[in-house]
Structure formats: structure tokens, C-alpha cells
Structure 1
Amino acid sequence: MEKQIVLYAEFTARPGARAEVETLIRTYADAVQAEPGNIVFDVYTRAEAPDRFVVFEVYRDRPAFDSHIGAAEGAAFNRALGPLIVGGASELSFLDLLEAAL
């Protein structure tokens, strides 16, 4: 079985753009959750910083993730999101599962 791709993305809405970012990410989440290789696409905000969004993502395998990255919806989302967030792009952190000792 191929390894799942697990990551989280973080970005901060520019002052005054939080509502627009929230609407945009909610719509995008619906599209991603419908992708056949997506397992989890959950959107959070930081409790101490509500303009800071955190998206936790899990994909079945590398081909599923590659399909997600190549989807037209993602390109459109990133074009729309860029001007609304600090730094213009999400910060991605890929995760590896710490396997339990046997």
C-alpha cells in the first residue's frame, strides 16, 4: 500500500479580508472533499489568531495528491487567495506519521 500524503497549510488573511478568505476556502473545501483521492480536508482558524487559517489535508497516495495539485479548481483558488493573504501564498508543512514501536 502506498503511503498517504499528509500536510497542513497555513495562511493569514490580510486586514479586512477575513470574511472573503473564509468564503473562498469554504467553497474550495467542498471541491477538494469531492476529489476521489482526498481523505481529509479540514479547515480551522487558530483560536488565538482568528485571521490565521490552518488546513489539514490527507490524500490516499502520491497520485491522488498529484491529481489534487493539477486540478483546475486549485489553480483558480490560489489565484484568488494570493492577494487576500499575507505573503501571497500558503505555507505548506508535509507530515510523516511516527510509527508505533512494536
Structure 2
Amino acid sequence: MTEPTILHAIFTARPEQGDNVAALLRDFAEIVRAEEGNVVFDATRLVDDPDRFFVYEVYRDEAAFHAHLAAPAGVPFNEALQQLIVEPSSILTFLRRI
């Protein structure tokens, strides 16, 4: 049985950019959720710090994750996000089910 690819991403909006990050992420989430190999794409804001974002992603397998990375919407999303967040890019943590 093939293992799913599971990860989470965290990032922090620059001052005054939280709502712009949320809007960008909302639009991107709709695109990712329509990808054939996507199982979960939950984009959230921290309640106690709404400039901090947490995205939980599950893809059917590694091939589906690589297809997600190669999808046309990813590059413009990441370029736009990079301008709106404090970090140089999303901080990714890969996970494995137990």
C-alpha cells in the first residue's frame, strides 16, 4: 500500500497583510482541492495570532504531491505569497501517519 504524503506549512503575514494572505490562500485552496490527488487542504489562521497561518495538506501519494508541485497555479501563488509573508517561503514539515 502506498503511503500518503502529509505535510503542514506555516508562515506569518507581514504587518497589515493578513487579510491579503487569507484571500490568496482561500483562492489557492479551491484550486488545490480540485486536484485529482489531493485528499485534504485545510488552510487556517491562528485564533490568538491572526497573522500566523497553518496549512494542513494530504496527497494520495508522493506522485500526487509532485503533480501538485508541478501544477500551473503553484508558481504564481508562491511568488505572490512570498511578497506578503515574513519568512522567505512557507516552512514545511512532512509527517507520517502512525
TM-score, normalization by structure 1: 0.93
Gaps of 5+ in 1: none
Aligned twin of 1:47: 47
The answer to whether structure 1 residue 37 and structure 2 residue 55 are counterparts is no
Aligned twin of 1:21: 21
Q: Is the 8 A contact 1:41 1:56 kept in 2?
A: yes
Question: Secondary structure, in 3 states, of the residue corresponding to 1:72?
Answer: coil
Q: Which residue identity is paired with 2:8?
A: Y
Aligned twin of 1:58: 58
Percent same amino acid at aligned positions?
Answer: 47
TM-score, normalization by structure 2: 0.97
Aligned twin of 2:91: 91
> Which aligned runs of 4 or more in structure 1 are off by greater than 4 angstroms?
none
Question: Secondary structure, in 3 states, of the residue corresponding to 1:39?
Answer: strand
CA distance in 1, matches of 2:62, 2:87: 27
CA distance in 2, matches of 1:68, 1:21: 20
RMSD (Å), alpha carbons: 0.7
CA distance in 1, matches of 2:14, 2:72: 25
Q: Which residue identity is paired with 1:89?
A: S
CA distance in 2, matches of 1:19, 1:87: 17
| 1:28 to partner: Cα distance | 0.1
Question: Secondary structure, in 3 states, of the residue corresponding to 1:87?
Answer: coil
